[in-house]
Amino acid sequence: MLVYHSKIVTINVFIDLNKVLIYNKANLGGLIMGWIILIIVVVVILFVISIYNNLVGLKQKVKNGWSQIDVQLQRRFDLIPNLVETVKGYMEHESDVLTKVAELRTSWASASSVKEKSELDTQLSGALKTIMAVSENYPELKANENFSQLQEELQNTENKIAFSRQFYNDIATKYNTKLEVVPSNIIASMFHFEPVELFEAESQEARKNVKVDFGK
Q: Are 123 and 44 members of one domain?
A: no
Give the mean model confidence (pLDDT) for residues 46-73. 93
Q: Answer yes or no: is 108 within a domain.
A: yes
Judge if 39 and 75 occupy the same domain: no
**pLDDT tens, position by position, 15-35:** 554 554 455 555 656 677 778
37/108 same-domain check: no
Last residue of a domain, one of 29, 48, 67: 48
- Per residue in 136-149, pLDDT (tens digit) is 887 887 778 888 88
Output the pTM of the full model. 0.72
Residue 74 neighbours by CB under 8 Å, 6+ apart:
108
Question: How far apart, in Å, are the Cα atoms of 101 and each of 96, 121, 133, 161?
Answer: 9, 11, 15, 18
Q: How many Cβ atoms sit within 10 Å of the Cβ of residue 170?
A: 13
User: Is the model's pLDDT at 2 over the cut of 70?
Assistant: no
Residue 72 lies in a domain: yes
For the chain, percent of residues with pLDDT exceeding 70: 78
Q: What is the predicted pLDDT for the residue at 127?
A: 84
168 neighbors 65 (Cβ within 8 angstroms): yes
> Does the pLDDT of residue 174 top 50, yes or no?
yes
- Is the domain of 69 the same as that of 176? yes
Q: What is the pLDDT of residues 87-140, one digit of tens each?
A: 877 776 677 888 888 888 888 888 888 888 888 888 888 888 888 888 788 788
- Considering only CA atoms, which of 214, 201, 196, 216 is closest in space to residue 66? 196
Which of 8-12, 58-62, 93-97, 130-134 is modeled with the greatest confidence?
58-62
Provide the 10 A C-beta neighbour count for residue 138: 17
* Widest pairwise Cα distance in the chain: 135
* HSE-CB of 9 using CA atoms within 13 angstroms: 6
Query: Do 60 and 118 fall within a single domain?
Result: yes
Residues 186 and 107 sit within 8 Å (Cβ to Cβ): no
Collapsing DSSP states into helix, strand and coil, what is residue 184? helix
14 and 109, same domain (yes or no):
no
Number of domains in the chain: 2
Range of the domain at 16: 1-48
Give, as one character, the DSSP assignment of residue 137: G
